[in-house]
């Protein structure tokens, strides 16, 4: 276990209406107020945004991708240039995933062996091996504040035996990751697998907690199952995890999903939705999503969200529509920036509600507001590529 | 003639070694220290750069394009959204060109009639007419601080009779523009045409000065002729223009061209080179240009230009190469930003040299330095598209 100046996590306040909690996550690059949302900087950049703009949204931690950086520019290059923080000019905390999810979602011809995953690079077709030991080595070279164990992700729905096999392999890989991990300034999180099978999930939790990780992630969700199924699994898994460790729900999700998960005791999130939807001209607002290419915005002098304090909301909807119609980079930049600001403001509001002991009311109010909008359309947009 | 709070221009200092001069250009949105360089925001955005980043380079005035905004989003839309400054969030001075050059370089099937230019939009093929009166109307709708008359630009080299015809038409159009122009908070500049024929250029100057404009531009250069030819024309034209009015060399150019023109008494410049080359991964530095995709930069921890104070020069060459290899927006953003900062720093140095009465020495030094580098390669890069 790492020792970044003492304990990794303190719960500061627990909501009186739900299992939501406010906490402080300590890392070698500073603290993070939880519940927290991590914007995704896949290739060591949050697409189109200079680091100071991301920081201006209130972002305290970002995520970057082992899989992508392994292929390009290679972790040895990042290490030679002083590590990931210095490389990308982001001096606050960074979490790196292990590549398990991308091997499942992006790589071609993936072969999972007990030794590790063997796949063809989506860039040049070359054969690459990612073992648990290499996943840790890569993350140590990158120098992230939080590293993830390599896990074996499978599609849902799937046969129970396939899910069980993958979960058990993930446990054996987690143990090898723990053994390989050396950096004392980097936390290591285990990942709970087990699909939509509550008993498999609980067995996985038990074994991971036995091994003892700095934090615990819930993986293998948001891979196509209905939100209600995800919430059902969170109901079982989140409370079974140690209260004094941070809990991270990987790759989730829509604003309502974040709040539903927070109510179930989750502390940490990442998702490409604010930035990917932003590049596709979809803006999150308090009043529901806006498609910025729509003709109705042509002469609209209002900002995307009149209640939003972000830099992008100093511009009119008419201007942002023009940027998208003219295929100007500044369109994706401004809507990505706004969407990250929207997520961070939502998380600030969530933390305030927990502090006030009224997160349940806050969640109810958001459920009611957002069910009246077309917020669910995001899914369609999200899958439209980028 | 406009009256933006008194005189448009004051010469503050004249160099003792050359015809270079420092001045103050006054506009409705503030002053500009000359010699000045205007980055180009073709479609009401300097590609990829938020306005505060452009301002951070020391930029005091930018250029935007009547031709592009006429086609999209249309000037009436910009006016409905509060004018160009508010539309694009740039609250310092803006100069708009008249569209004459783009009709020549971009439009298809252009027919020049005495009434105006008729062309097919490069966007949707629709037929558009641009008369001198419409060019002024558009620029008044945009609300730029400096408007340009509509001119008839022809390719060089060309037959003398063609150049003479176009110059004479440009004069008649300049008169119609002057008659049509109404905004009192917008200066109007005449444009000197006449190709590489000194006597035609001088006749054009004489007639324009007779009409009396707020400032004078030298147009129809940097259209393929060798730099020495351009300097020869500047030698004739610049000193023949009224000393108390700003002189603007349109669409020029390379760093050395700016200095050569300043030495001949030019005050104002615009060029797409810093941004277009930036998007193509070419960075200007004191030591000559860098191609940021080159493998030699892979593990280079140095900034693009160790002497540069810009935000982009807080990142390593290795990181910027990675961004270009990974096709990340931040690559073009950072190199564009750096290149604008390079131009603005060069202009600050030029102004300081004029203040010190030693611009001739400064120019000599730069000629010597840059002739040792491959700075001339920029031309090839500039013409490579995007």
User: Which residue in the set A52, A325, A330 is minimally distant from B48, CB to CB?
Assistant: A330
Which pair of structure tokens corresponds to residue B247?
């002189």
Distance of CA A377 to the CA centre of its chain: 20
Minimal CA separation from B62 to chain A, in Å: 17
Please provide the DSSP assignment of B338-384 as one string: HHHHHHHHHHHHHHHHHHTT-HHHHHHHHHHHHHHTTGGGHHHHHTS
How many CB pairs (< 8 A) connect A and B? Answer: 112
Which pair of structure tokens corresponds to residue B231?
């300097």
pLDDT by 10s per residue, chain A, length 386: 454 557 999 999 999 999 999 999 999 999 999 999 999 999 999 999 999 999 999 999 999 999 999 999 999 999 999 999 999 999 999 999 999 899 888 877 789 999 999 999 988 989 999 999 999 999 999 999 999 999 999 988 999 999 999 999 999 999 999 999 999 999 999 999 999 999 999 999 999 999 999 999 999 998 888 999 999 999 999 999 999 999 999 999 999 999 999 999 999 999 999 999 999 999 999 989 999 999 999 999 999 999 999 999 999 999 999 999 999 999 999 999 999 999 999 999 999 999 999 999 999 999 999 887 655 444 444 433 33
- Residues counted in chain A: 386
Is B220 one of the annotated binding-site residues? Answer: yes
Domains, chain A, in order of start with CATH, read 34-277 (3.20.20.105), 282-372 (no CATH)
User: Which residue in the set A72, A88, A325 is minimally distant from B325, CB to CB?
Assistant: A72
Q: Are strands A215-218 and A187-192 parallel, antiparallel or unpaired?
A: parallel
* CB proximity B74 to A under 8 Å: no
Contact flag A318-B77 (C-beta cutoff 8 Å):
yes
Provide the b/e sequence for B99-131 (b: ≥16 CB within 10 Å): bbbbbbebbeeeebeeebbbbebeeeeeebebb
Closest CA to A312 of A33, A24, A106, A57: A57
| Selected residue of B56, B74, B81 to mutate for chain A interface (largest A Cβ count, 10 A) | B81
As a whole number of angstroms, the distance between CA A114 and CA A129 comes to 12
pTM of the full structure: 0.95
* Packed helices B330-355 and B359-372: angle between N→C axes, nearest 10 degrees: 140
Radius of gyration of chain A (CA): 20
Torsion of CA B347, B351, B357, B362, to 10 degrees: -10
C-alpha separations of A383 from A39, A277, B136, B251, B326 in Å: 18, 9, 46, 43, 21
User: Which residue in the set A48, A325, A330 is minimally distant from B330, CB to CB?
Assistant: A48
How many other β-carbons are positioned within 10 Å of the β-carbon of residue A87? 26
Q: Which residues of B touch A315 (CB under 8 A)?
A: 89
Which pair of structure tokens corresponds to residue A376?
């669910």
Maximum CA extent, chain B: 60
* CB proximity B329 to A under 8 Å: yes
| Selected residue of B54, B278, B322, B341 to mutate for chain A interface (largest A Cβ count, 10 A) | B322
Minimal CA separation from A170 to chain B, in Å: 30
Q: State the residue for tokens 């009396």.
A: B212
Interface predicted TM-score (ipTM): 0.95
Q: Which residues of B touch A298 (CB under 8 A)?
A: 73, 77
Q: Which residues of A touch B325 (CB under 8 A)?
A: 72-73
**pLDDT (0 to 100) of residue A373:** 66
User: Which residue in the set B45, B80, B298 is minimally distant from A77, CB to CB?
Assistant: B298
| Selected residue of B39, B42, B45, B275 to mutate for chain A interface (largest A Cβ count, 10 A) | B45
Distance of CA B149 to the CA centre of its chain: 15
As a whole number of angstroms, the distance between CA B73 and CA B82 comes to 13
Answer yes or no: is pLDDT of B377 > 70: no
Say which DSSP state A303 is in: -
Minimal CA separation from B315 to chain A, in Å: 7
């Amino acid at each position: 276990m790492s020792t970044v100046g003492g304990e990794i996590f303190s719960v500061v306040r627990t909501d009186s209406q739900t299992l939501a909690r406010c906490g402080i996550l300590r890392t070698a690059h500073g603290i993070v107020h939880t519940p927290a949302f991590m914007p995704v900087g896949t290739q060591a950049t949050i697409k189109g945004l200079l680091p100071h703009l991301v920081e201006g949204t209130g972002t305290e931690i970002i995520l970057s991708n082992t899989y992508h950086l392994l292929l390009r520019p290679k972790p040895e290059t990042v290490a030679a240039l002083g590590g990931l923080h210095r490389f990308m000019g982001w001096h606050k905390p960074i979490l790196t995933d292990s590549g398990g999810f991308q091997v499942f979602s992006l790589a071609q011809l993936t072969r999972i062996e007990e030794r590790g995953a063997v796949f063809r690079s989506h860039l040049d077709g070359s054969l690459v091996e990612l073992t648990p030991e290499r996943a840790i080595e890569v993350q140590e070279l990158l120098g992230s504040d939080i590293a993830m164990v390599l896990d074996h992700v499978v599609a849902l729905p799937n046969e129970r035996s396939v899910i069980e096999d993958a979960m058990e392999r993930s446990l054996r890989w987690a143990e090898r990751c723990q053994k390989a991990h050396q950096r004392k300034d980097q936390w290591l999180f285990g990942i709970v697998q087990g699909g939509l099978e509550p008993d498999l999930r609980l067995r996985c939790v038990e074994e991971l907690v036995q091994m003892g990780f700095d934090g615990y992630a819930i993986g293998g969700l948001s891979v196509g199952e209905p939100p209600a199924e995800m919430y059902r699994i969170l109901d079982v898994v989140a409370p079974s995890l140690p209260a004094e460790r941070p809990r991270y729900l990987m790759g989730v999700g829509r604003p309502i999903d974040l709040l539903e998960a927070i109510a179930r005791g989750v502390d940490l999130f990442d998702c490409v939705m604010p930035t990917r939807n932003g590049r596709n001209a979809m803006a999150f607002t308090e009043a529901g999503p806006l498609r910025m290419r729509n003709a109705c915005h042509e002469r609209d002098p209002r900002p995307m969200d009149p209640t939003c304090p972000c830099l992008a909301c100093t511009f009119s909807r008419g201007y942002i529509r023009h940027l998208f119609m003219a295929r100007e980079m500044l369109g994706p930049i401004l809507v990505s920036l706004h969407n990250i600001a929207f997520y961070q403001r939502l998380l600030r509001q969530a933390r305030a509600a927990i502090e006030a002991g009224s997160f349940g009311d806050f969640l109810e109010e958001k459920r009611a507001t957002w069910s009246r909008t077309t917020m669910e359309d995001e899914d369609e947009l999200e899958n439209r590529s980028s």
